[in-house]
Amino acid sequence: MSEALLRADKASIVFGGLKAVSDFNLYINRGELVGLIGPNGAGKTTAFNLITGVYQPTSGDIMFDGRSIAGKKPYEITQAGIARTFQNIRLFSELSVLDNVKIAYHSHVKYGLMETFARVGRYFKEEKEIEDEAMRLLKIFKLEDKADEQAKNLPYGAQRRLEIARALAAKPKLLLLDEPAAGMNPQETKELMEMISWIRKEFGLTVLLIEHDMSLVMGICERIYVLEYGIIIAKGTPAEIQQDPEVIRAYLGGEA
Amino acid sequence: MDFTHQFVQQLINGVSLGSIYALIALGYTMIYGIIKLINFAHGDIYMVGAYIGFFAVTRAEMSIVPALLVSMVVTGLLGMLVERLAYKPLRHAPRISILITAIGVSFFLEYASMYFVTPTPRTFPNVIDNIAYNIGPFVVNGQQMMIMGITLILMVILTYIVQKTKLGKAMRAASFDVETAQLMGINADRVISYTFCIGSALAAAAGVLVGVYYNSIDPLMGIMPGLKAFVAAVLGGIGILPGAVTGGIILGVIEAMVSGFLSSTFRDAAAFGILILVLLFKPSGLLGKNRREKV
Amino acid sequence: MNLLRKNDLIMLAFGIVLFAVLQGLISTKIIGSFWELNLIIIGINVIMSVSLNLINGYTGQFSLGHAGFMAVGAYVGVVLTTFFKLPFIVALAAGALAAGFLGFLIGLPTLRLRGDYLAIATLGLGEIIRIVIMNIDYVGGAAGFQGITHYTNFAWVFIIMLITLFVIKNFINSSHGRACIAIRENEIAAEAMGINTTKYKVMAFTMGAAFAGIAGGLFAHNFYIISPSSFTFLSSFNYLIMVVMGGMGSITGSIAGAFVVTFISAALANWPEFRMIIYALVLILLMFYRPQGLFGYMEITNMGIFRRILKRGRE
């Protein structure tokens, strides 16, 4: 069996004596689409922040593509091949839709400062490539007509799509989506889920998806982890998860 | 012996200078605590306070305590007015806009005062007899006693207001979280207005005391003490009242020591040096707790 | 032909024509020495405000110590030309390097701070630079540095200003510049997009400081004596006003801001109190009614008129 793309090994984080996430074990194989679900406040976003380097694990390790990424800075982890979206949308809101995507190509740009100042060498060629690729991504996400609009003026659903487009521009191997369907209506959600399945195949991506609403992820995820109070209480295929008494208790008993 | 003697003497000078910083720093820290604004104009409020005290003594021929009270009341109202006209309309604007407005207000107070009272420094009359008290081998003069005494009294009153009155409770709630405080039925606008009033009155007291201490006031006198009082507030932990006092006294003592043992030209550099060290190593200040942004 | 290159050539041609006209008016004494001096000051202020805009406007880091870096460039420059008899251009370059290096040293630890904390820290550092210079007898201390050779003229200032504008414009319109702008917009998202935020903040700060150093060199060699009192935080505020008035995030705005502020100062030179009261009111009213400044994030090259002239567009 090949090595998993991402493997969290007993990753834990403590905030002021409180264990926000403890003994977080998770693996994702290349090409998989995995869901991470759990009730509100279960620590899902904290787990994401651990993987992406926003928080440093207090103990345990996280391996990505055969190397440890625990303790690395967020930008180093993105450069290593993990891109993410945010639960509370974090676009570059004053900038154009196109610029939002162009910024994410940053770590793939080869021209140096001197070529920038004097505008010689690779500058024009690479800038053109970036613009073309960014427009191609916008087309996929049906945003090409809005390329020159300010990101903050987009409707909510379009902002969520733009965040995914922007994350893809960083050319990740692993894409982390933090509640991508939050605030969307059922029709939009359905379209989004289809789009996620499609881009996964098109870009050869591995995807880890956080969702608060369990029913959403059942349709597209191959495996699911369930988090409650910072601890993984269940894992398995959607069918197994639906039958799991712990999960039913967490969702029904926990919130009732 | 000689070193110890000078050390203690500088300590006395430092504490009285530090009391002034503490009074100004309290206003900074209260205002920052509630609306997260570095009120660059606060030093100029202190200057206006000094001038009002000066005119109360020279023109209205008041004695020092009534002059001090008049200055505190008038300057407190001025503080409320500044807040109402310049900062309130920007309550929901980006913080940088309010900061720039504060710089504008600062310029306005400085140069409008310069226009009205001329740039020439004024000599503050001797309002109390300049008696030097000998405590053992050390000398404390009457002005220093008065500065420390009045500062102490004002701090007791402030502590009473903040801890015991309804207004004080509202202020503490608002500095914790303005929006939640509003949900609890606190009129945030009024609380902010009174905070400016109290902060400005304390700065006015500092201004009058400095006039008495150094005998000289001018329209730009507020710039440096204003900045240093901010340093004091940061040093103690911004938003924390005892922190402002602690920071003010420590800063005053350090400055007195640097002037006494090194050179007075490095005095200002020392204050800013401390600021930078604090910001780098303990940005929450001596009495503060660390916080981080939620992702 | 590439649109960007075409744009550059047009701006360059415009710059050369403007220079030729102004230089011609100066040579024929149609522009007298008072306004010639003001043209020089405007040029220097443009360099200062555009470089400050790189830090404050584009990267979103609030610096209030720009005059300190100007002082470093000025003093390094005059020491090299006066004591070491080095050529002017070498002195300017050395001043830029020294200021840039100091900017790097200062930026590395302080740029961790945010917003108003950074503002007050840079203000403090600018003052420390000035106080240190004041205490170095070698450069004249508080009394100032005397006996400077008058090298600066309109041509020097204009050409260096043009180079500054091109370098900063090219930087802003590159992936490096976009990294800086991303930091201003949302630092956490920028970091999540693979941008080393510390590196780019320090880079913008270092570049800004280096250009302030060049401006300092030009400023110093325009007089026979310079003193530390020319570089207080009040002058930093002055450059800030230019940036804010023009628009934080617009090079066109910084040029306009430098022009307007210098012009007002010159026109009201005999009424200094009024000048400052007007500054203050302009600043406050600007924040009330147009906080984004005259130009906001707009550049003249992106505006409708300019585009129509060029008949350009994306399609």
The tens digit of pLDDT for each residue in B238-270 reads 888 899 999 999 999 999 999 888 877 788 888
Among B134-138, C71-75, C88-92, C222-226, which is the least confidently predicted range?
Answer: B134-138
ipTM of the complex: 0.91
Q: Do B268 and C109 touch (CB under 8 A)?
A: no
DSSP designation for B89:
G
A contact chains, 3+ CB pairs < 8 A: B, C
Within a domain: residue A119? no
Mutate to test the interface with B, among C122, C129, C287 (most CBs of B within 10 A): C287
By residue count, chain C amounts to: 315
Within a domain: residue A136? no
Give the global pTM: 0.89
Q: CB–CB of A95/C216 below 8 Å?
A: no
Q: Do C276 and B107 touch (CB under 8 A)?
A: yes
pLDDT mean over B65-81: 96
Residues 6+ apart with CB under 8 A from C44: C157, C161, C215, C218, C219, C222
- Residues of chain A positioned with their CB less than 8 A from the CB of B295: 45, 49, 54, 86
Q: Do C179 and A74 touch (CB under 8 A)?
A: no
Residues 6+ apart with CB under 8 A from A113: C171, C176
Q: Under DSSP, is residue B93 helix (H, G, I), strand (E, B) or coil?
A: coil
- Please give the pLDDT value at position B218: 94
Partner residues linked to A150 by β-bridges = A96
Among B70-74, B262-266, C21-25, C192-196, which is the least confidently predicted range?
Answer: B262-266
- Residues of chain B positioned with their CB less than 8 A from the CB of C237: 103, 107
Within a domain: residue A154? no
CA-to-CA distance for C252 and C249, rounded, in angstroms? 9
**Single-letter amino acid code for the residue at A148:** D
Q: Do C120 and B100 touch (CB under 8 A)?
A: no
- Please give the pLDDT value at position C1: 44
pLDDT in tens, C119-148: 888 999 999 999 999 999 999 988 999 999
Min Cα distance A42 → chain C (Å) is 22
Domain count along chain A: 1
Within a domain: residue A111? no
Residues 6+ apart with CB under 8 A from C111: C61, C118, C198, C201, C202, C205
* Of the partner residues B94, B111, B271, the one whose CB lies closest to the CB of residue C280: B111
Residue C50 has pLDDT above 60, yes or no: yes
- Residues of chain B positioned with their CB less than 8 A from the CB of A54: 295
**Considering chain C, what percentage of its residues have pLDDT values greater than 90?**
68
Please tell me which residue, C24 or A18, carries the higher pLDDT value: C24
- Cα–Cα separations (whole angstroms), residue B113 to B45, B86, B108, B149, B197: 11, 17, 8, 29, 20
- Please give the pLDDT value at position B182: 85
Within a domain: residue A29? yes
- Residues of chain C positioned with their CB less than 8 A from the CB of B279: 110, 113, 117, 120-121
pLDDT in tens, B206-221: 999 999 888 899 999 9
For β-strands A82-84 and A174-178, DSSP reports them as parallel
CA A65 to chain centre: 16
- Cα torsion at C130, C136, C139, C140 (round to 10°)? 90
Residues 6+ apart with CB under 8 A from C81: C87, C88, C91, C148, C149, C151, C221
Q: Do A111 and C194 touch (CB under 8 A)?
A: no
CA-to-CA distance for C256 and C247, rounded, in angstroms? 9
Q: Say how many CB pairs under 8 Å bridge A and B.
A: 4
For residue B219, give both structure tokens: 């329209």
Q: Do C182 and A94 touch (CB under 8 A)?
A: no
Q: CB–CB of A244/A234 below 8 Å?
A: yes
> Which long-range CB contacts under 8 A does A137-144 form with residues at least 24 apart?
A137/A101, A137/A165, A137/A168, A137/A169, A138/A97, A138/A98, A138/A101, A138/A165, A140/A165, A140/A199, A140/A202, A141/A165, A141/A195, A143/A97
pLDDT in tens, B20-36: 999 999 999 999 988 88
- Residues of chain A positioned with their CB less than 8 A from the CB of B94: none
Mutate to test the interface with B, among C240, C261, C265, C284 (most CBs of B within 10 A): C284
Residue C95 has pLDDT above 60, yes or no: yes
- Please give the pLDDT value at position A1: 42
pLDDT in tens, B114-140: 999 988 999 988 877 777 777 777 778
* Of the partner residues C121, C280, C291, the one whose CB lies closest to the CB of residue B275: C121
Residue C302 has pLDDT above 80, yes or no: no
pLDDT mean over B7-22: 91
At C308, the pLDDT band (50, 70, 90 cuts) reads low
Q: Do C280 and B107 touch (CB under 8 A)?
A: yes
B contact chains, 3+ CB pairs < 8 A: A, C
Find the residue in B nearest to A47 (Cα). Answer: B295
Min Cα distance B92 → chain A (Å) is 17
**Single-letter amino acid code for the residue at C34:** F
CA-to-CA distance for B225 and B43, rounded, in angstroms? 6
- Residues of chain C positioned with their CB less than 8 A from the CB of A90: 186, 188-189, 192
Q: Do C121 and B279 touch (CB under 8 A)?
A: yes
Is B132 touching A (CB cutoff 8 A)?
no
- 């300049």: which residue's tokens? B130
Q: CB–CB of C133/C140 below 8 Å?
A: no
pLDDT mean over C77-101: 97
Q: Tell which phi-psi region holds residue B206, choosing left (phi > 0), alpha (psi between -120 and 50) or beta.
A: alpha
At C315, the pLDDT band (50, 70, 90 cuts) reads very low
**Is the Cα torsion angle C241, C247, C250, C254 positive or negative in sign?**
negative
Number of Cβ within a 10 Å radius of residue C226: 25
Min Cα distance C230 → chain B (Å) is 16
* Of the partner residues A52, A109, A117, the one whose CB lies closest to the CB of residue C167: A117
Q: CB–CB of A162/A193 below 8 Å?
A: no
- Please give the pLDDT value at position C304: 60
Full pLDDT tens readout for chain A, 256 residues? 457 899 999 999 988 777 889 899 999 999 999 999 988 888 888 999 999 999 999 999 999 999 999 989 999 999 999 999 999 999 999 999 999 999 999 999 989 898 888 888 788 899 999 999 999 999 999 999 999 999 999 999 899 999 999 999 999 999 999 998 888 888 888 888 888 989 999 999 999 999 877 767 888 899 999 998 889 999 999 989 888 888 888 876 654 3
Q: Across all residues in chain B, what is the average pLDDT? A: 89
- Please give the pLDDT value at position C246: 92
Q: Across all residues in chain C, what is the average pLDDT? A: 90
Is A48 touching C (CB cutoff 8 A)?
no
At B290, the pLDDT band (50, 70, 90 cuts) reads low
- Cα–Cα separations (whole angstroms), residue A136 to A101, A124, A129, A143: 10, 18, 10, 10
C contact chains, 3+ CB pairs < 8 A: A, B
Please tell me which residue, B173 or C312, carries the higher pLDDT value: B173
| CB contact residues (below 8 A), chain A span 163-222, against chain C | 166, 170
* Of the partner residues A123, A126, A170, the one whose CB lies closest to the CB of residue C193: A170
Find the residue in C nearest to B278 (Cα). Answer: C121
Q: Do B107 and C283 touch (CB under 8 A)?
A: yes
Domain C3-26+35-310 has CATH 3.40.50: no
Min Cα distance B203 → chain A (Å) is 38
CA-to-CA distance for C47 and C55, rounded, in angstroms? 13
- Cα–Cα separations (whole angstroms), residue B85 to B108, C13, C245: 13, 47, 21
- Residues of chain A positioned with their CB less than 8 A from the CB of C185: 91-95
Q: Do A148 and C174 touch (CB under 8 A)?
A: no
* Of the partner residues B38, B101, B271, the one whose CB lies closest to the CB of residue C287: B101
Q: CB–CB of C74/C216 below 8 Å?
A: yes
- Please give the pLDDT value at position B279: 83
- Please give the pLDDT value at position B251: 95
Is B295 touching A (CB cutoff 8 A)?
yes
Find the residue in B nearest to A49 (Cα). Answer: B295
- Strands (DSSP E) found in chain B: 122-123, 132-135, 138-141, 216-217
Range of the domain at A186: 6-81+172-253
- Residues of chain C positioned with their CB less than 8 A from the CB of A123: 174
- Please give the pLDDT value at position A175: 96
Q: CB–CB of B204/B71 below 8 Å?
A: yes
Q: CB–CB of C189/C40 below 8 Å?
A: no
